[in-house]
Chain A
Amino acid sequence: MTAWDEIRVLIDAGDAGKLIDRLVELDDHERKLVAGELRGHIPFLRARAETLQQQRWREERRRRGRHEPEHEPWQDWADLMRLAGAGTLSAVTAVASWVTRRDLTTWRIFARRPGFGDPAPVVRLLAHRPAQWQAELAERLAVKLRGPRDAGVPLALAMLRHTGVEPPQHDPLVVAWVSAGVGSDPDPLLPALLPRIFEAEGVGRALQHERTDPISPWLRTMRELSESGAVGRASLLDGCLGRFLRGGNAQDLRFFVRLHGLLEPSAAEVKARRRDYLRLLPAAPGPVAELALRHVRRLEAHNPAEVAEALEGLLFRAEATLVRAGLTWFDQTARQAPEQADDLAPALVTAFHHESYDVQHRAAMLALKHAGRFSPLGAETIRDAVPALPPALGERLVTVFGGAAAVPATTPPYIPPPLPAPPAVGAFAAVPATPAAMEALGWTSWEWQDGERWLAGFVRLAGQDVRGLRVALGAAFGSSYSQLYDMRTWTSVDYWRAAMARELITPGTDPGVPVERPEPYHEGRRSSAAVLFAAMARNAEGNQGDGEEKIVEEDDEGFTSAVLPAGLHGQIFGGLEQAGNMTSAHAARAGDPPAEYDTEETRLVSFSWTGYASPFRSRKPRPVPEAPRDRLPSPRKVSPPHLFLLRRCAEILDALKSGTLPPVLLATPTLSTGTLDPDVLVSRLEECEAAHAVPLPADLQQALLRLPRGAHPEAAARAERLTSEAGRTAARWLADGGLPDPEAGVRWSYSEGMKEHYIDERPPAQVGQVSLVPRLKAAPTGLHLIDELLREPAKWSWDDHGGHMGWWPSILPSHREVVAVNLLPHLLYQWNRPGVYPGHAAMLAAADGPAGEATALVLAYFLAQKKPGDAVSVFLTMAARGDLPASTLGVQLGLLVRWTWLKRQHVVNALAEAADRGAHQQVWQVLRTLLPALLPRDGEHARGGLVKLVELATTVAARAGVRGAIPEVAAVAGRRTTSMFARECGRLHDHLTRS
């Protein structure tokens, strides 16, 4: 038996202790032999372990065991191989890479054992090597670390601790060390690594969650070390300050800020580091600067030049709290040392530029207060900076210092660009004229245009080139939708397309709508039952003890493994059988009760059934419904425009089956918006008449809906010459000006106490779930499909509602408000339903017809999103076309912000962007109605963020040059408060009332 065989056997035996003993005894030759074999052995061991683990899982599943499986030797293979390599490889580099091999350190499947990857045995084994060798290895392992979650961390730290070697300069090592937590024993690494936590990148971030109350482990350790004197306070303080000076963001420095707070530096300590604290004031993150300022302010007698420099940095900062503290310091210094006032003037004027009005105000007041202390030179500094102040403040300074305040209401330097031209409406893409073009369209379309083109091309080519079309469609459709005829309804146009294609290729393939067979209630449905019962065992004393509860889970396929006491067995399954839900055969297979539970004391605790059907429900056969004539879905289950579209498909299929297809479809648009040229319609009608074909009804009605708005007398005159019924209908429609605009809109409702209320009638007490109630009232047209299309949509969407929404705007291209009303049920709660997207809003913008509440609401919804870019483009398009329902939009935005989760800030951003891109006039009209909706009413507090809205309104009003007071704004402006909000309202009101 060679040494390698011995080692292999020991690895298989899984005993680390014996393996180590044997490894240590190996001579050089044997070591080399074993080392040479190791690498090749890994795949073998891994494959075996995987196989055994799979086996074990299978077995566990079979036994349904819930107990923790026993530990077996083969699970340790990775650890033992690590040991074997560490014991036999000779070079430091070889060992270092062996013990950190990824396949040995991160063997997750087997790492469920807590002891996996324990470095202790490896260290014990390596202890037999020369000290110098060990030190080198420790260093190399440390330098290999990449981060705190590196798998090599435990061993690297253990080796460093064991050898006592000076840890190498390596930032990830320090981060890994602190991330590993504070050890309970005195850590030998502490003296070497502790000073480095102030230097290594990443330590602050790793310890950012350390808190002082309750105190976290590292902070406690630091405190104890400094209190016991083991680590000098000075070194900790210097470390913190050094760390602050080296920079980093607030997160990175949080730990050190807390540590610094814990150390509570004395005045003398601060004094010794005065320069460092001063240097932190201008640029350190907020919390650090605050801390520095607090400690600096404790000191007396600063060098005047230093104070001036510190204040210049401090008053330049963005944080208002720090600037305010700086102003207080300025005040004190100027009072105590008036001769320094001039030196401090440059610092003071930096605060004039601050964003916060409060800070500006305070700085201006200080300038006035100390006006007498400035020499002419200092006064000039202040005079030069006055224009940075708001005009009212500036005026007050001008009276003392001279100069000129900022000219109030300077003409806005920004000249907004003209509104971008709306995108041009293109022609509708050509209808496929050849079978090859049809094949290129494929068997499914994403864009509605392609769908229309396919239908038009199909009808056209079915009349002209059936043979070619058959070949093309055969290639395009192949074996798509193999279950097509098993479906009872076809809700997608793609199904209808497939049916048309199949019908054309092989006429009469459709076997008809499948008859609905009443299914036995349980057939094909999986369910499972869980039975919980308790056996009341008697203990030795005869007292009744706690019952042992046992859960039995079953599924209705088997019942084989159920172990139920006989009494319960009868109770449950007998009952089920009686209810007619289970055959006796099933019940019989439910297994034998174990003897120990089959006692009188065993009782049923609970019985639950999960699945599609309750076992207790009776299985009465349901009445057989009448077989439908076609595969159109029930009007209840789809949205009106969707049904209208499907009807068009259905009639084409019907006509194909009956051989009455017209030579051309009437409704194919001529513009990319879906609009149809009246003359083209008449030409198509003429073509049908010439071919003695009757146009399809839904097709005709769709064509009529697609006509441009208004009457078309010339086309009507042409159409009057037609003799067919369809021709007369078209002529009438063309002469009368088409579909009169239905009464459309939306009302907001909510439910409270099981009752539905409208928000405009009875505002809710609190924000809850609102719903949008679409309103649509159309006078009957006499064309029943159009009347069906103009049904009022439901408030909610369910089943197949919301299908083909991208197609809808093209169904009513001259009546976008009707389309928008139909989109409303899909607007708000769309997380698992078809939803409305900015693209739909863009299509509404491109369409024609009055834009009312519903269109405004769809646009408003997208303007209130976090990324409103697309919606702003839609806004601009509608504005450029003069179609924008601006004041309605303001109202709907107000409702959205007030009663839904959408954010005011996002609305402000979107409107600001639209105003910047040239739509300032329209944005003002929106704001005019939006402001009153959002401003607080009497007695209400202003909600945060309104300032930005009012600011925007002021800017836009100035740009648009509008006048005319808004009562709600005037009310706030008249309040006797100095809040920023009231001041902004005042500015707006001033502007609006200026003559």
Chain B
Amino acid sequence: MTGPLAWRVFPDRPGGLRRSTALSVWISSVRAMTNTVQAYSYAGPSTLVGDRLGLATSGGRTATGLAGRPRFFSGVVTQAAPAAAALLAVADVALARYHQPRAAGSGRTRDPVITCDGERLRLESFSACGGVYARLDLLGAALDGEVFDRGATNVDVNGPLREALARVGGRDPLHLGVGADELAVTTLNGAVVEKKVPLPERWLRGFAEVQVIASGFDLRAEPAGMAAVRFLRGLPKKATAGVWVVPSGRELRVTTAPARGAVCLAGVGRLATLHPLLRFATKLRVYGPAVQDQVVSSAWELELPGMRYTLVLSPQAWRGFSGEGAVLADLSGDDAEADADVIGMLLNFEPTVETGLLADRSGLTPARVRAALTQLGTAGKVGYDLAEAGHFHRELPYDREHVETLNPRLAAARALVAAGSVRLAGSGTARVTTGGGVYEVGLETGSCTCPWWFDRRGSRGPCKHVLAARIAVHDTEGALR
């Protein structure tokens, strides 16, 4: 059940202030069935007055601890027009629902997340359908100003701001402020903005897991400016069309069947936010996992002057990232959780997370560090930067306990193990007894006789029976040791 939406700007009043200043309530979430309601509380709406763009922040974790309205940055954006257009693109993704669009806008936009790591600003958003992830990285070259703190938080995006951003021209200067003090200048009456939007579990999990999925991608093609434009303009007009993209020379070609080195592009309409940015783009980078015979996720990154705009698409328009099960193999081990705690402590919003360095500091093997990063990724604590091929520290400013809730499939698997339903049958098989019958799991192949596995054949990761069997094997081995 989703709670009602409330979007009100009301004059400053004691209640509003109290809510905003008390850190203990910086995120208030009301759990109802599987949905949580996220309440954003901003000191005022984000505005663009004159050339001063003030992005209002809601609460989040910073390098110095939890903050109600952290202040990250104040300075000049050297490339005004691309930055404004890319900000709009991020906001558009947050607003969009690519699969089964609603007749009336729901008005339930989940605000973008901004991360400041001291060198750059990253803005992330996730579509309402849970299948498209967008990130704008404003790199050092595009920013000239002062950093106040490092951390991650939500930023308010509203209609008038979008309008104003669309008015920014290439020759206009743009001064960007992220955080409270900027607003003191721009807001007239100090009004508080509060928004409440439902935060479905699958949306949140998808947002977190997309990082883990992206970390398995390789660069597949890198067409330069006009080749990228030709390719994107030449895509089928039908938004739901699905194609495969093959690099050929300096160009990209579209085919209907998978081929070696091809990148799956399902729902070409989901790349719509790239189009307004094309005129600034110097390069398009296309990423994908090692291709199999099935539809897979892909990432599309536009290189803009001093910034990068990245879209990650799920394998199908109707498939959100949450059900992909890409992370389950790493999570089912027991060590991952403990390792993640260790690694999590070592992160401090550094610009890049280096596996080797972390391994040295924590004393863990690089493989365990990577598994721990997966665990942290699903908990919304690290992101993945494809261009730099590295993780970065970013804590999603949502109810932490909620983000860390186990993946339901993994939870079900643990429950099966706890109930003693797994019987290792030797010769690499296990029998898992459930309410629906007894299923046989092949441990080597990771296959199962359950209907879920029959339908998906590994395209969404292991089923709960396979996971349960693996956990049981792991436990047995641990006991023997």
Interface set, chain A 265-279, CB cutoff 8 A to B: 275-276, 278-279
What CA separation (Å) do A202 and B96 show in the bound complex? 12
When the two chains form their complex, are residues A275 and B249 in contact, meaning their CB atoms are under 8 A apart?
Answer: no
Asked whether A986 is an interface residue with its Cβ less than 8 Å from the other chain, the reply is: no
| B72-96 interface code vs A (CB 8 A; 1 in, 0 out) | 0000000000000100100010010
When the two chains form their complex, are residues A872 and B4 in contact, meaning their CB atoms are under 8 A apart?
Answer: no
When the two chains form their complex, are residues A283 and B275 in contact, meaning their CB atoms are under 8 A apart?
Answer: yes
What CA separation (Å) do A846 and B253 show in the bound complex? 29
A166 to B: closest C-beta gap in Å: 11
* Chain A residues in 8 Å Cβ range of B4: 140, 143-144
When the two chains form their complex, are residues B167 and A276 in contact, meaning their CB atoms are under 8 A apart?
Answer: yes
When the two chains form their complex, are residues A312 and B279 in contact, meaning their CB atoms are under 8 A apart?
Answer: yes
A247 contact from B88, B103, B249, Cβ within 8 A: B88
Q: Give the contact stretch, choosing among B56-64, B143-151, B226-234.
A: B226-234
What CA separation (Å) do A144 and B250 show in the bound complex? 52
Q: Give the contact stretch, choosing among B256-264, B349-357, B426-434, B439-447.
A: B256-264
What CA separation (Å) do A140 and B248 show in the bound complex? 57
When the two chains form their complex, are residues B229 and A247 in contact, meaning their CB atoms are under 8 A apart?
Answer: no
B229 to A: closest C-beta gap in Å: 7
A245 to B: closest C-beta gap in Å: 4
* Chain A residues in 8 Å Cβ range of B85: 283
* Chain B residues in 8 Å Cβ range of A176: 104
When the two chains form their complex, are residues B167 and A245 in contact, meaning their CB atoms are under 8 A apart?
Answer: yes
When the two chains form their complex, are residues A246 and B7 in contact, meaning their CB atoms are under 8 A apart?
Answer: no
B167 contact from A149, A247, A279, A417, Cβ within 8 A: A279
A-B contact list, 17 entries, CB within 8 Å:
A140-B4, A147-B102, A147-B103, A169-B8, A170-B5, A170-B7, A170-B107, A172-B106, A200-B105, A246-B159, A278-B169, A279-B169, A283-B279, A388-B226, A414-B249, A868-B256, A916-B246
Asked whether A917 is an interface residue with its Cβ less than 8 Å from the other chain, the reply is: yes
What CA separation (Å) do A242 and B166 show in the bound complex? 9
* Chain A residues in 8 Å Cβ range of B251: 413-414
What CA separation (Å) do A144 and B102 show in the bound complex? 15
| A289-320 interface code vs B (CB 8 A; 1 in, 0 out) | 00000000000000001100100110010100
Query: Which residue of B92, B251, B255 has the most chain A CB atoms within 10 A of its CB atom?
Result: B255
What CA separation (Å) do A276 and B229 show in the bound complex? 25
What CA separation (Å) do A242 and B164 show in the bound complex? 9
What CA separation (Å) do A350 and B88 show in the bound complex? 24
When the two chains form their complex, are residues A282 and B279 in contact, meaning their CB atoms are under 8 A apart?
Answer: yes
Interface set, chain B 120-164, CB cutoff 8 A to A: 159, 162-163
Asked whether A668 is an interface residue with its Cβ less than 8 Å from the other chain, the reply is: no
When the two chains form their complex, are residues B279 and A913 in contact, meaning their CB atoms are under 8 A apart?
Answer: no
Known: A143-B4, A353-B226. A413 touches B249 (CB 8 A): yes
* Chain B residues in 8 Å Cβ range of A278: 169
A175 contact from B103, B255, B260, Cβ within 8 A: B103
When the two chains form their complex, are residues B106 and A171 in contact, meaning their CB atoms are under 8 A apart?
Answer: yes
* Chain A residues in 8 Å Cβ range of B226: 353, 388
9 closest A-B pairs by beta carbon, nearest first, are A201-B105, A413-B249, A175-B104, A202-B104, A245-B166, A283-B276, A171-B107, A172-B104, A414-B248
Interface set, chain B 405-446, CB cutoff 8 A to A: none
Asked whether B50 is an interface residue with its Cβ less than 8 Å from the other chain, the reply is: no
Asked whether B6 is an interface residue with its Cβ less than 8 Å from the other chain, the reply is: yes
* Chain A residues in 8 Å Cβ range of B104: 146-148, 171-172, 175-176, 200-202, 206
* Chain A residues in 8 Å Cβ range of B6: 143
Asked whether B170 is an interface residue with its Cβ less than 8 Å from the other chain, the reply is: yes
With contacts defined as CB atoms under 8 Å apart, how many contacts are there between chain A and chain B in the complex? Answer: 121
When the two chains form their complex, are residues B162 and A246 in contact, meaning their CB atoms are under 8 A apart?
Answer: yes
Query: Which residue of A169, A305, A306 has the most chain B CB atoms within 10 A of its CB atom?
Result: A169
Asked whether B171 is an interface residue with its Cβ less than 8 Å from the other chain, the reply is: yes
B112 to A: closest C-beta gap in Å: 16
The binding surface of chain B is classed by DSSP as: mixed
Chain A interface residue number, banded: 35 or more
Chain A residue at smallest Cβ distance from B260: A417
* Chain A residues in 8 Å Cβ range of B162: 245-247
| A352-363 interface code vs B (CB 8 A; 1 in, 0 out) | 010100000000
When the two chains form their complex, are residues B166 and A913 in contact, meaning their CB atoms are under 8 A apart?
Answer: no
When the two chains form their complex, are residues B167 and A869 in contact, meaning their CB atoms are under 8 A apart?
Answer: no
Chain B residue at smallest Cβ distance from A869: B257
The binding surface of chain A is classed by DSSP as: helix
When the two chains form their complex, are residues B166 and A246 in contact, meaning their CB atoms are under 8 A apart?
Answer: yes
* Chain A residues in 8 Å Cβ range of B276: 247, 282-283
**Chain B contact residue count (CB 8 A cutoff):** 44
A870 to B: closest C-beta gap in Å: 9
| B199-238 interface code vs A (CB 8 A; 1 in, 0 out) | 0000000000000000000000000001001100100000
Asked whether A199 is an interface residue with its Cβ less than 8 Å from the other chain, the reply is: yes
* Chain B residues in 8 Å Cβ range of A275: 167, 169
Known: A247-B88, A279-B167, A283-B85. A205 touches B103 (CB 8 A): yes
* Chain B residues in 8 Å Cβ range of A199: 159
When the two chains form their complex, are residues A355 and B105 in contact, meaning their CB atoms are under 8 A apart?
Answer: no
What CA separation (Å) do A171 and B103 show in the bound complex? 11
What CA separation (Å) do A172 and B4 show in the bound complex? 12
| A732-763 interface code vs B (CB 8 A; 1 in, 0 out) | 00000000000000000000000000000000
B92 contact from A148, A206, A247, Cβ within 8 A: A247
Chain B residue at smallest Cβ distance from A200: B105
A861 to B: closest C-beta gap in Å: 17
A651 to B: closest C-beta gap in Å: 40
Chain B residue at smallest Cβ distance from A309: B170
Interface set, chain A 225-246, CB cutoff 8 A to B: 242, 245-246
* Chain B residues in 8 Å Cβ range of A206: 103-104
When the two chains form their complex, are residues A172 and B166 in contact, meaning their CB atoms are under 8 A apart?
Answer: no
B102 contact from A202, A279, A283, A916, Cβ within 8 A: A202
Known: A144-B4, A246-B162. A355 touches B230 (CB 8 A): yes
Asked whether A589 is an interface residue with its Cβ less than 8 Å from the other chain, the reply is: no
What CA separation (Å) do A303 and B246 show in the bound complex? 44
Asked whether A163 is an interface residue with its Cβ less than 8 Å from the other chain, the reply is: no
B372 to A: closest C-beta gap in Å: 40
When the two chains form their complex, are residues A916 and B248 in contact, meaning their CB atoms are under 8 A apart?
Answer: yes
| A167-198 interface code vs B (CB 8 A; 1 in, 0 out) | 00111100110000000000000000000000
* Chain B residues in 8 Å Cβ range of A276: 167
* Chain A residues in 8 Å Cβ range of B272: 249
* Chain A residues in 8 Å Cβ range of B259: 417, 917
A326 to B: closest C-beta gap in Å: 13
What CA separation (Å) do A278 and B279 show in the bound complex? 16
Chain A residue at smallest Cβ distance from B161: A246
| B260-296 interface code vs A (CB 8 A; 1 in, 0 out) | 1000000000001001101100000000000000000
* Chain A residues in 8 Å Cβ range of B278: 316
When the two chains form their complex, are residues B106 and A913 in contact, meaning their CB atoms are under 8 A apart?
Answer: no
* Chain A residues in 8 Å Cβ range of B88: 247
What CA separation (Å) do A313 and B103 show in the bound complex? 32
A253 to B: closest C-beta gap in Å: 13
Asked whether A670 is an interface residue with its Cβ less than 8 Å from the other chain, the reply is: no
What CA separation (Å) do A140 and B3 show in the bound complex? 12
What CA separation (Å) do A202 and B106 show in the bound complex? 9
What CA separation (Å) do A313 and B88 show in the bound complex? 17
When the two chains form their complex, are residues A246 and B163 in contact, meaning their CB atoms are under 8 A apart?
Answer: yes
Interface set, chain B 161-188, CB cutoff 8 A to A: 162-163, 166-171
What CA separation (Å) do A306 and B172 show in the bound complex? 11
* Chain B residues in 8 Å Cβ range of A201: 95, 104-107
Asked whether A867 is an interface residue with its Cβ less than 8 Å from the other chain, the reply is: yes
* Chain B residues in 8 Å Cβ range of A169: 7-8, 107
Having A279-B166, A282-B279, A916-B246, one finds 11 other A-B pairs with CB under 8 Å, namely: A140-B4, A147-B104, A172-B105, A172-B107, A202-B103, A245-B167, A247-B276, A413-B249, A413-B250, A872-B257, A917-B259
A956 to B: closest C-beta gap in Å: 14
What CA separation (Å) do A305 and B105 show in the bound complex? 38
B255 contact from A172, A200, A913, Cβ within 8 A: A913
* Chain B residues in 8 Å Cβ range of A247: 88, 92, 162, 166, 276
Chain A residue at smallest Cβ distance from B164: A245
A913 contact from B103, B159, B256, Cβ within 8 A: B256
